[in-house]
Amino acid sequence: MKKVFVFVLVSFGLQFNLFAQISPEQISTLKERLLTEKNDSARLQLFYDIAYGFRFSNIDSSLFYADLAIDLANKLNAPLIKAHMLSLKGATILEAGKIPESLQFQFEALEISERNKDTSNMAFALNRIGNVYMELEDYKKANEYYFLSRNLFEKIGDAGMVHNEVSNIGNVYELMKMPDSALYYQTIAYEGSKLTDDRNRYTRPEIMFRMGNAYRVKGDKVKALEYYKKGILESYIDNDLRNLTMNNLFIAQLYHVLNDPDSAKLYAYNAINTGRTVSFRKAIYDASVLLSELFEEEKIYDSAYKYLADANIERDSLIGAKRFRDLQRIILDKQEQQRASELKSITFQNRQKQYSLLAGSGIFLLIATILFRNNRQKQKANIILENTLTHLKSTQSQLIQSEKMASLGEMAAGIAHEIQNPLNFVNNFSEVNKELIDEMKSELRSGNIDDAITISNNIQDNEEKISHHGKRADAIVKGMLQHSQISSGVKEPKNINALADDYLKLAYQGYRAKDKSFNAILKTDFDHSIGNINIVPQEIGNVLINLFNNAFYALSAKALAKNDGNYEPTLLLKTRKLDKKIDIIVQDNGGGIPQKVLDKIFQPFFTTKPTGQGTGLGLSLSYDIVKAHGGELSVETREGDGSEFIIQLPSRIDGI
């Protein structure tokens, strides 16, 4: 019964204190209760609460009470609390620049949480592993973990942490210099925080400086400064010294850019003072570097040297040789765990292999990154940028092929319908010819030569029809194979009118195969002066398939909504030749696109379709394909009346 009581008590506490920002007075009250509390289960809860209470105000105290909680959790056999405290400890020491140790604690917390099916702490551990990779500037890896974490928080219905992960994803895009994506995700988190008074689940000081960063990258320095100063106010409300440090640091850096050295120094001093209070080494390093640069610009070289020396001390603690040796030890320990796991059940082996693949590849990338950090700053930046671009290109190619195969599945039923028609002709004419041959033999035996010749002429006509429809079926099959194969990326001259018309018919039949009640009027208006243009046929075909399917979806949805017999779903496909460009226009009279989401439709993973009916990748990949062809993909819409997507491509034939 004792173990059950501990679990219930501690689980109750978990619901309220994961991100608690509590006042010094509340912490004092908890510590006073601890002095008189004799029950181990209650003491464990108090250790837990105090450790989280000190999370953003006193790193050393947070670590002290986290260790007490871990020891007592081992004594009481409370693995869930132990996992939460290990993850908290890893997140806390990351602020002190102990990257290998932080990663070690997060992996251990993740393993315990998986073993005990603790989805909540699995999500927190994944989030904090993402934080490690973000510190190491491996932004692609960081977002992989943030998306995994966000999905788990969505699964357990934790809206606050879902918004926290959305903010992290936006922060990564800001660091990757993608301002539109950064501001898009940060605005979602910011608007979500305004809908609730829960300051525990929404870290407002962090949200504020991330909004400021997004505006700074977009070039709006006034807005950026406004949000940084809001962040300082929010930090004082929450007693959040870590994010108070960050807001001061970003204001100092912005004033430096604005050529206001006095203000820059003031806020840099503030950042160092608060950063030292919570042992926030990364922020101390950045602020010290900034002060060194400011004094050097003023030719006050003794002060410039002093702060540069301070920065070097912090840098060595962040990326020194000992950190590298510790990281090697973590890798060896991980390999030993993998060997031990081979003795367990097949189910556990499969899960461990998947986990090891993520962890092992990430750790080796971590080694490479740390080695790069010891090289010259410029060389490091160039190498990381090159690697990032390579990963992005590889991922994009995989996503394009994945989306292509999805559209191929939708086309399969339509192709089957299309090919059945010529095959029916072939079969029917073959049967007729068999009968005619029997008749011709009979006429020849009877000596009726003229009648036999007439029958042979009919057989010849039928054979021509068989050949025609056989070639038609062959063309359909070749078209399907051409669509399904991996694109070579080689451009070739193609008749864009014929290509667009073929894909329209295939897409329509494919959609009708899924929804037999769907009917639409298909209209074409081709500019025959266009001729051939230089394209990669498979890729442009995928763009057209995506636009046609989206149009059919809009037409079907409007038809179901109206259901009055007066609405005629209509799709118009037209082409037109301009000066040095050609337009392919896909126009429908569906429900149109709401103005509030119009700016988002080309963003990855954004979709207006219900869950399970769209990946949110089609338009994003279509946009990238058209841009790669030197063209533009745009949309004009009238909410309630329909949409018009315009593919504009160069009309010249070159680069073959």
The pLDDT assigned to 586 comes to 96
Cα–Cα distances (Å) from 239 to 17, 56, 189, 276, 387, in that order, read 15, 8, 21, 15, 39
Strand, helix or coil for residue 22: coil
Say what the pLDDT of residue 618 is: 66
Q: How far apart are CA 311 and CA 286, in angstroms?
A: 7
Identify the three-state secondary structure at position 523.
Answer: strand
Written as one string, the DSSP assignment of 213-265 is HHHHHHT-HHHHHHHHHHHHHHHHHHT-HHHHHHHHHHHHHHHHHTT-HHHHH
Q: What is the pTM of this model?
A: 0.43
pLDDT of residue 348: 56
Q: One-letter amino acid identity for 604? A: P
Q: What is the pLDDT of residue 346?
A: 47
Tell me, what's the pLDDT at 552?
A: 93
pLDDT of 38 reads: 87
> Which candidate, 14, 168, 186, places its Cα nearest to that of 88?
14
Strand partners, 648: 583, 632
Sequence ranges of the chain with CATH classification 3.30.565.10 = 492-656
172 contact partners, CB below 8 Å, separation of at least 6: 134, 139, 142, 143, 146
Cα dihedral value 487, 490, 496, 499, nearest 10: -30
- Check: CB of residue 193 under 8 Å from CB of residue 206: no
- pLDDT for 63-117, tens place per residue? 889 899 899 999 999 999 999 899 899 888 887 667 778 888 988 999 999 999 9
Distance, CA of 210 to CA of 208 (rounded, Å): 5
Q: Check if the beta carbon of residue 593 is closer than 8 Å to that of residue 607.
A: no
Q: Output the pLDDT for position 18.
A: 45
C-alpha gyration radius of the chain: 33
Residue 365 has a pLDDT of 62
The model's pLDDT over 26-52, given as tens digits with 9 standing for 90+, comes to 888 888 888 888 898 899 989 888 888
**Average pLDDT along the chain, 656 residues, taken 10 residues at a time:** 34 39 78 87 89 78 89 91 90 78 88 91 91 83 90 89 88 85 86 80 84 88 91 87 91 93 92 85 88 90 83 66 51 50 52 58 60 56 55 53 49 55 74 82 86 85 81 64 52 90 86 82 92 87 89 90 83 92 94 81 62 53 84 89 92 54
What's the confidence (pLDDT) of residue 526? 94
pLDDT per position as a tens digit, 568-607:
999 999 999 988 899 999 999 998 888 877 777 776 555 6
At 547 the pLDDT is: 92
Q: How far apart are CA 547 and CA 544, in angstroms?
A: 5
CA distance 255 to 232: 15
Q: Where in the chain is the domain with CATH 1.25.40.10?
A: 195-311
Task: Tell me if 62 sits within 8 A of 47, measured CB to CB.
Answer: no
Domain topology for 492-656 = Heat Shock Protein 90 (3.30.565)
For the domain with range 195-311, which CATH number is right: 3.40.50.1110, 1.10.1740.10, 3.30.1360.70, 1.25.40.10? 1.25.40.10
